[in-house]
A and B are shown apart, each in its own frame.
Chain A
Amino acid sequence: MVSNVPNFIILAATSTSPSVEQSVQNFILIFLSILWEALPFIVLGALIAGILEELVPQQLVSKFIPRSRTLAIMIGGLLGILFPMCECGIIPVMRRLLRKGVPLSCCVAYLLAGPIINGVVMLSTFAAFYGQQNALNSSGQPAYQIGGLGMMSLRMFFGYLVAMGTSFIVEWQYRKHGSKLLAPLAVADTEKGQTKDGGIGLTDEPPKTWFQKISNISETALHDFVDITVFLILGALLAAGSRQLLSHDTVEALSRDKPVLAIGMMMGLAIVLCLCSEADAFVAASFVSLRPASKLAFLVLGPMLDFKLFGMYTRIFRQRLIWTIITSVVIQVLIYSLIFHFVWEGYGKYHWWSGTVPALNSPKGGG
């Protein structure tokens, strides 16, 4: 049935030129691939959010939060190891955690560091950069790139640092402005004068039947799913459009031999591409001629900020907090990348580089 439906857009496009048709196809392919890859994880996150909202009492949540806010933030940044979720799935869960009274700064720490500091991303980063320390430049000399273990460690370290720095800034902002930083749906029930006991009889509410609980879970889950997916779609459309202007080759051509510019361009590319943190390492690794610092900037910034995330942030945070987070993340990534670049190029590659110059072997054949 699908193949027989007239393809109006493509019929119209081919009447202009094949390159226009291919550009439209590329745009739609990129847009839908970002969407359908993220969608199952948003469904999962929304379902977890519904269960959290309905079944987990606030009193239970507050038992697990350390009294020391500093410790709570530091632990929040490491929660991705226990609860690995991609950044799309974390958003609906985080909104419900905020409603349950989890401190905003802890949630932000998990939001920023969770998509980087988890087993899946650590493995994929290691695999993507495995062996890159032995890469050669076009003259056959060592390129002084960083291999899998080094890149994985640096990504985790700088990701955690950026998340901590931003979370402490958010904590300071929260002490000044309180829940005005949050969208209404994310404000804790205690601040609204409402409490939920998760149906376990701690208040005077009549006990709910199982059907009522499941009904409430489905209503919350679908509401969150709709609310967040709309902005995922808008972000993916923006990403697909931007790819027509800023491509892999454009960035490489513009920033070859200009390492400081490369850092900025790779940060821009990270925002535009809207890749999941499991796959972005392979994309970064494919920029063979760029210096390690620019790839590191791409790897740290991408899971924290891109077009689709920006759209989804508007469902939890108000503009003041969104721009606080964006400014903090971007400035920190830029500064740390620049520092790392000068340290590596000036000292590190001569003392810490672990590669070897491979001998030119007979061809092994095959792929």
Chain B
Amino acid sequence: MGHTHEHKDNTYYIEQLCTIGVCAALGIVGVMLWRSTTIKPGEPAGAGTGMIDLMLNPNFHLPVLLGGITLVILILVRALAVWSSVRQTAHHHDHEHEHEHDHDHTHDHEHGGAGCSEHEHEHSHEHEHAEAASHSHEHGHEHSAAFWRYAVLLLPVVLYFLNLPNKTFSAAYFGASMDVGDLGTETFAAPKASGDATEFGLTELKEGAPGADFRKEYQGKAGKLKGQFTPMNNRVFTLMKTKMNCCAADAIAVKSEVAIVAPQGGVGPIQDMEWIEVEGTIQFREKPDEPGAFMPILQVPSKDKIRKIPPQPF
């Protein structure tokens, strides 16, 4: 490869330098992204708030690190090779003036020990040029349009240094709205629940609501739910939990489809998608948009029945 340097034009070296620069930037950003995680050992996936935690499931953090390190190693090797190639170009130019008449040992060595006539010298350069053409000639096809590609490749690097993304999806992204009719607009006191609060799984009330026996058993009883806060209007909210299997693009939400009526004073300073535990009185009401189907409701009597909790495993 090093023998072909006199046939390589400046475009080849510029392209190599651009490749090295851009790939180095991507590799370093990959490593820095890996370092941005805030998830501690034992915490569930949703607990992280670092940039990489917003984008990727923790199972994919290590591949990002390894990919970044591999890129850095590749560009170091490439940089060394390009530097070596440039040195040989400078060395070869120095010899060229002597080479017209002298076939010295150095040249014999460079050309594989063959008897170094002018013809053989040209032939070996053609052969090596043809060999290099599998890279540099094909690169040549793209040279005229190649440099726009480096601008595209720098986009994720630029976004990283702009601190983007810095927020996860909002509840609206998952389409959390439900038709709750006039729920929350009435002035009422939440009925006092009987018995101790039973803790339900996120979807248990929704799944049990179609059954008349289930409704009869739990109507008016105290119930407790955990999930991510999803406001619907200024008095009614619901809960969901989100899961990212590989990356944010595949994030799905499991929705409780329980309409939770906040007390008169509201819910307090709770952010969209924050994990909370809610306790209230269970009721069932026919859905306004689906006669015969029942919507579970949780009437919260006071603000102290809404508590922030750490992120839960899916």
Contacts and interface: CB of A to CB of B under 8 A. Distances in A.
Interface of A: 2-3, 5, 7-10, 19, 22, 25-26, 28-30, 32-37, 39-41, 43-44, 47, 124, 136, 138-140, 184-185, 189, 192, 194, 196, 205-206, 211-212, 214-216, 218-223, 225-227, 229-230, 233-234, 239-240, 243, 247-249, 273-276, 278-280, 282-283, 286, 360, 363-367
Nearest to A30: B249
Given A37-B60, A194-B131, A222 B74 contact: yes
23 contacts: A7-B166, A22-B172, A22-B173, A26-B173, A29-B168, A29-B248, A32-B55, A32-B159, A37-B60, A47-B70, A139-B293, A211-B84, A218-B74, A219-B16, A225-B23, A226-B22, A248-B174, A273-B250, A276-B247, A283-B252, A364-B201, A365-B200, A366-B201
A68 to B, nearest CB: 31
Given A7-B163, A248-B175, A363 B81 contact: no
Nearest to B248: A33
Q: State the 5 A-B residue pairs at the shortest beta-carbon distance, nearest first.
A: A40-B67, A249-B175, A140-B210, A215-B81, A33-B248
B173 A40 contact: no
B202 interface: yes
A221 B73 CA distance: 12
A190 to B, nearest CB: 12
A8 B175 CA distance: 28
A37 B161 CA distance: 19
B164 A28 contact: yes
Contact of B153 (A140, A218, A230): A230
Contacts of A3: 163
A283 B249 CA distance: 10
B108 interface: no
A29 B81 contact: no
Contacts of B155: 233
A19 B165 CA distance: 15
B165 A226 contact: no
A178 to B, nearest CB: 19
Give chain B's interface secondary structure class.
helix
A43 B32 CA distance: 17
Contacts of A9: 162, 164
Contact of B247 (A249, A279, A360, A364): A279
B201 A367 contact: yes
B211 to A, nearest CB: 5
B286 interface: no
A360 B165 contact: no
Given A140-B210, A282-B252, A34 B243 contact: no
A367 B226 contact: yes
A19 B172 CA distance: 10
A206 B201 CA distance: 70
Interface in B216-261: 226, 241, 243, 245-250, 252, 254
A2 B146 CA distance: 30
B290 A360 contact: no
Given A8-B162, A40-B63, A218-B78, 13 more contacts: A2-B32, A2-B161, A22-B167, A36-B60, A189-B134, A196-B134, A216-B1, A223-B19, A233-B155, A282-B243, A364-B204, A365-B199, A367-B241
A356 B36 CA distance: 46
Given A9-B164, A222-B75, A367 B314 contact: yes
A39 B67 contact: yes
B56 A37 contact: yes
A41 B70 CA distance: 11
